[in-house]
Chains A and B, each alone.
Chain A
Amino acid sequence: MIDRHPWLDALAHVVLIVGVLIVAFPVYVAVIASTHGPNDFMSGLIPLLPGHEMVANYRSMLTDGLSSSGAPPLGGMLWNSLVMALSIAFGKIAISILSAYAIVYFRFPFRAVAFWMIFVTLMLPVEVRIVPTFKVVADLGLLDSYAGLTIPLIASATATFLFRQFFLTVPDELMEAARIDGAGPLKFFRDILLPLSRTNIAALFVILFIYGWNQYLWPLMVTTTSQHYTIVMGIKRMSDVADALPQWNVVMTTAVLAMLPPVIVVVAMQRLFVKGLIETEK
């Protein structure tokens, strides 16, 4: 603090408190709505204080789902989301750490070509090439499977760049010493480089878990039966019904369950999350 301005400090507190309230308000309302029965949404105003139906709502959604809209139990959807998020996070980390290793620690023909092929994937978000990508996945027979949900999303230029940047900062002497001691490339990778990359891997994992969990358009397209629905896309099926019948309590129960796991990950691993976020964008 350089100079004292009590009124400015007070203003800063006010701005931040208002900010926190605005940011948290929709979630508060969603949590409150998930504790009410269906009749509280028929008319008047959305409830702003907790109701008594919380246990009933969560229990029935987790085990029975919403039969009127053909929505399966949320337990299964949460499981699918978890499988998808973990596969994408581990898959991306695995293939990009290997390719970054090849690009930094070897010299071979077409190295630059490989680097640029990975680079252009930055420019091709799934939304803009959605129809042909869907066709490729359909032709490969991957519709409605975990493989179809995850593999098309695991190529990642940003993760490769992050590992490349990190490998370039690892002192050359480490590799030279390892070679003198007789370590081959795989042993060097496993015993030296991988342990050194631990923090980066963890930070990247947090970001990629959120990325995988929050996928919407892709699971919406490649799942044709409810068996592989993920929870983030499943909410759309319930809200479509909500316009006809006011089932807001059910929709908001689903919303709360869908956002809980990634929010817990961010809150519990905040330091890694901030590191991962800032470094993957550089």
Chain B
Amino acid sequence: MQTKRTVFGNRLLPYALLLPQLAVTVVFFLWPAAQAVLQSFQREDAFGLSTTWVGLTNYADLLSDPTYLNSLKVTAIFAPAVTLLSVGLGLIFAASLDRLARGSRVYAALLVWPYAVAPAIGGIMWWFLFNPTIGLLPYLLAMVGYRWDHALQPTDAMILVVIAASWKQVSYNFLFFMAGLQAIPKSMIEAAAIDGAGPVKRFFTIVFPLLSPTTFFLAVINLVYAMFDTFPVIHATTGGNPAQSTNILVYKVFVDGFIGLNLGSSAAQSVVLMAIVVALTVIQFKWVERKVTY
């Protein structure tokens, strides 16, 4: 690991400097995570008086629990849908902006600010727009003959949470694609133009391939966002319903642990989620190491 070629000689000072960060890390990160792993192998009786060691039973129960399998399926639809929608729109906006010589700063400013809005607030606003009785979008959909009701229709509820969760992420992806586009040397685009490639062909054969590191990075980041940071969107709008159709994994951990008080199962679910985050983080860092350079 890198340091400076000369370093300070103090023996105790570095430990004192590290102490606050390590103390918080141990008390609020490592210890609870270890507890979660431990609890996932235990089961408490109904009164919380005794705990028994049950081995892998909690994990085995998860795999035979239809609500957990449903939650896996819901997440497998929700997370890629959010990623696709928000990364796609971010790329379209950034590529459009890249064409323009004038006015680009104004558009950029107008597209960036939703990133500052809390997911819960974004969720509430879309929930309002989609309100089945007075909302604007159901009113427009009724004109084309569709009866929108996210309180009863699982598909409608899923569409609602996907849109609400993607909304602020578009700004984020847009910013990263802008940075990626600016890093592409103009000479490459010019060379292709001289060879007779039109703007559409240039985008698909040069610009988009050169953006692939950014796209891959954003795909991972957005998957992580959709799987873990969208809890407020679900909690503030559908609450996992109707009929569990929007009950994503991270929401289920909360419901089972806090409302259902099923600590063993909730802990086992936490451990599964941690494994997923570790896998995604490793993929991301593997990519950082062999970053493409032009």
* A residues neighboring B (CB under 8 Å): 1-3, 5, 8-9, 11-13, 15-16, 19-20, 23-27, 29-30, 33, 41, 43-46, 48, 94-96, 98-99, 101-108, 111-112, 114-115, 117-118, 120-125, 127-137, 151-152, 154-155, 160, 168, 172, 175-176, 179, 184-186, 188, 210, 213-214, 216-217, 220-221, 232-233, 235-236, 239, 246, 248, 251-252, 255, 258-259, 262-263, 265-267, 270, 273-274, 277-278, 281-282
Among candidates A23, A122, A175, residue contacting B4 with C-beta atoms closer than 8 Å: A175
Q: Taking the complex as formed, is B270 at the interface, i.e. its CB lies under 8 A from any CB of chain A?
A: yes
Instruction: Decide: B175 and A278 in contact? CB cutoff 8 A.
Output: yes
A129 touches B36 (CB 8 A): yes
Residues of A within 8 A of B113 (CB): 263, 266-267
B120 touches A221 (CB 8 A): no
Provide the residues of chain B in CB contact with A8, threshold 8 Å: 99, 199
Shortest Cβ distance from A202 into chain B, in angstroms? 16
Question: Contact at B128–A23, with CB atoms within 8 Å?
Answer: no
CB distance from A189 to the nearest CB of B (A): 9
Beta-carbon contact of A130 and B228 below 8 Å: no
**A185–B13 CB distance below 8 A:** yes
- Which residue of A has the minimal Cβ distance to B237? A239
8 contacts between A and B (CB under 8 A): A30-B125, A46-B128, A98-B18, A107-B7, A127-B231, A136-B31, A175-B4, A266-B115
Decide yes or no: A105 and B4 within 8 Å by CB, A1-B101, A132-B35, A235-B124 being known contacts: yes
**A160 to B21 alpha-carbon distance, docked (Å):** 9
Q: Which of B103, B121, B281 contacts A255 (CB 8 A)?
A: B121
Q: Given A121-B29, A216-B120, does the pair A45, B134 have CB atoms closer than 8 Å?
A: yes
A96 to B17, CA, bound (A): 9
Q: B20 contacts the other chain (Cβ, under 8 Å)?
A: yes
Given contacts A20-B111, A127-B231, A216-B231, contact A258 B29 (CB under 8 A): no
Inter-chain contact B13/A106, CB cutoff 8 Å: yes
- The answer to whether A154 and B24 touch (CB under 8 A), given A216-B235, A263-B116, is yes
Contact yes or no, A133 B28, CB < 8 A = yes
* B22 and A152 form a contact (CB under 8 A): no
CB <8 Å contact, A127 and B5: no
Binds A, one of B52-60, B76-84, B164-172: B164-172
Residues of A within 8 A of B184 (CB): none
Known: A136-B27, A266-B113; 20 extra A-B contacts, CB below 8 A, are A13-B103, A15-B96, A25-B129, A30-B128, A41-B134, A45-B134, A46-B134, A101-B17, A107-B7, A111-B1, A128-B270, A130-B257, A130-B258, A135-B35, A160-B21, A217-B231, A232-B118, A252-B125, A274-B175, A281-B217
B8 touches A278 (CB 8 A): no
CA A111 to CA B110, docked complex, whole Å: 45
State whether A26 touches B32 (Cβ < 8 A): no
As a 0/1 sequence over residues 16 to 42 of chain B, the CB contacts with chain A under 8 angstroms (1 = contact) are: 011011101111111111011001000
Give chain A residues whose Cβ lies under 8 Å from the Cβ of B133: 43
Q: Confirm or deny: B236 has a beta carbon within 8 angstroms of a beta carbon on chain A.
A: yes
Contacts of B111 in A (CB 8 A): 16, 19-20, 23
- A127:B254 contact, CB within 8 angstroms: yes
What residue of chain B has the Cβ atom nearest to residue A220's Cβ?
A: B235
B1 touches A112 (CB 8 A): yes
Q: Is B208 an interface residue (CB 8 A)?
A: no
Q: Is the CB of A151 within 8 A of B253?
A: no
Instruction: Determine whether the beta carbon of B14 is less than 8 Å from that of A232.
Output: no
Q: Closest A residue to B192 by CB, please name it.
A: A2
Q: How far is the CB of B261 from chain A (nearest CB, A)?
A: 9
**Nearest residue, chain B, Cβ from A14:** B96
Q: Complex Cα distance A133/B274, Å?
A: 14
With A2-B189, A131-B270, A235-B124 given, is the CB distance from A179 to B6 under 8 Å? Answer: yes
Give Cα A111–Cα B2 distance, bound, in whole angstroms. Answer: 11
B107 touches A16 (CB 8 A): yes
Tell whether B161 is near chain A: CB-to-CB under 8 Å: no
Q: Mark contacts of B189-217 with chain A using CB atoms, 8 A cut-off: 1 yes-contact digit, 0 otherwise.
A: 11001000011000000000000000001
